[in-house]
Amino acid sequence: MGDAPDRTHHGTAIALGARAALIVGRSGAGKSDLALRCLALAPGPLIPETAVLVADDRVHIHRVGAGLSVSAPETIRGQLEVRGLGIVEVPFRANADLVLAVELVAPEAVERLPDPPPELDFLGVRLPVLRLAPFEASAPVKLLLTLMQAGYGSGRADPR
């Protein structure tokens, strides 16, 4: 991406249309599993489109103007690790605008109404953070609902 700064980050990115969420957490926290459950959700009244994988395990993050873009390293495009099955091929998107970070935490670490809303910095861009307990039944829906709302207005996250 030219002279724009970029880096590789450990995590999993999924997209709804052109907007992506980066799922972060310790190794074994459930990043790939949560992504798999998001990809498996059929469109419906709450989430009218299907989520697709951008990258699993390693994600390239690129600074693009005031925002961020994510993509997968070429060697792992379209591949998702499914514990107990191995690596499976799934539909993917080559890149998307990164508008949300999802931090996987223990259930007791999820605030009911976080105030102020948490943020993380990636390459100088502040992204809203959704803290989720990854194995709650509602976690995929919470993630996708938040992704649908994140970054509206500018089309990208607020660079503050």
Which residues participate in catalysis according to the annotation?
10, 31, 57, 112
83 CB-near residues (< 8 Å, 6+ apart): 32, 33
CA–CA distance, 107 with 94 (Å, rounded to integer) = 32
Rounded to 5°, angle at Cα 133 from 132 and 134: 95
Triad 49, 122, 93: Cα angle to 5°: 30
Look at residues 143, 121, 123 and name the one whose alpha carbon lies nearest to residue 131.
143
Contact residues for 72 (Cβ-Cβ < 8 A; gap 6+): 13, 53, 54, 55, 56, 58, 59, 60, 78, 92, 94
CA distance 14 to 21: 6
